[in-house]
Structure 1
Amino acid sequence: MAKIQGKRSNALGSSLEMSQIMDAGANKIKRRIRDLERLLRKKKDILPSTVIIEKERNLQALRLELQNNELKNKIKANAKKYHMVRFFEKKKALRKYNKLLKKSNESTVDKDLQDKLRAAKIELCYVINFPKTEKYIALYPKDVPSTDPKGVELTNIKRDQFLNLVAERMDTKTLDVSFEEILMGKKLDDDSIGLTLSHKVDHSDESHASSTKGANKPEQVEEEDDFFE
Structure 2
Amino acid sequence: MGIKRTHATMASNDAHDDGADSRADAATRGMHPDRAAELLVDADELEVAAKHAKRAEGRVKRLPAGVRIERERELKGLEEKVREVERRKKRSDCITRWHRVRFFERRKAERRLKKVAKEGGDEHGATVDLNYALYFPLEREYVSLWPRKKEGDEQAEERMGDRDMWLLVEKCMADGTLDDLREGKVEGCGVENGETDLAESHAVDKKTKAKTKKTTQKAEDSDSDDGGFFEK
**Normalising to structure 1: TM-score of the pair?**
0.60
Q: Which residue identity lines up with residue 141 of structure 2 in the other structure?
A: K
Secondary structure, counterpart of 1:137 in structure 2 = coil
**Counterpart in the other structure of 1:91:** 107
Between the two proteins, what is the percent identity of the paired residues?
Answer: 24
| Aligned with residue 52 of structure 2, among 5, 10, 32 | 32
Instruction: Note if 1:130 corresponds to 2:145.
Output: no
Secondary structure, counterpart of 1:176 in structure 2 = helix
Q: Which residue identity lines up with residue 160 of structure 1 in the other structure?
A: R
**Counterpart in the other structure of 1:68:** 84
**Counterpart in the other structure of 1:20:** 38
Cα distance in 2 for residues equivalent to 1:84 and 1:194: 24
Task: Give the CA deviation at 1:90.
Answer: 0.3
Cα distance in 1 for residues equivalent to 2:136 and 2:113: 18
Task: Give the CA deviation at 1:198.
Answer: 5.7
**Normalising to structure 2: TM-score of the pair?**
0.59
Cα distance in 2 for residues equivalent to 1:136 and 1:79: 9
Q: Which residue identity lines up with residue 167 of structure 1 in the other structure?
A: E
Residues 22 and 62, structure 1, Cα contact 8 Å, conserved in 2? no
Dislocated runs of 4+, deviation >4 Å = 13-16, 198-201
Task: Give the CA deviation at 1:40.
Answer: 2.7
| Aligned with residue 176 of structure 1, among 164, 176, 179 | 179
Residues 91 and 138, structure 2, Cα contact 8 Å, conserved in 1? yes
Secondary structure, counterpart of 1:22 in structure 2 = coil
Deviations 1:146-202 (A, max 9, x none): xxxxxxxxx95x700001111111122222179xxxxxxxxx6xxx3465526689x
Cα distance in 2 for residues equivalent to 1:14 and 1:40: 11
Indicate how the Cα distance of structure 1 residues 15 and 30 shifts in structure 2: closer, same or farther if over 3 A, else same: closer
Q: Which residue identity lines up with residue 171 of structure 2 in the other structure?
A: E
Residues 132 and 194, structure 1, Cα contact 8 Å, conserved in 2? no
Residues 131 and 193, structure 1, Cα contact 8 Å, conserved in 2? yes
| Aligned with residue 163 of structure 2, among 160, 163, 170 | 160
Indicate how the Cα distance of structure 1 residues 87 and 177 shifts in structure 2: closer, same or farther if over 3 A, else same: farther
Q: Which residue identity lines up with residue 72 of structure 2 in the other structure?
A: E
Cα distance in 1 for residues equivalent to 2:32 and 2:64: 16
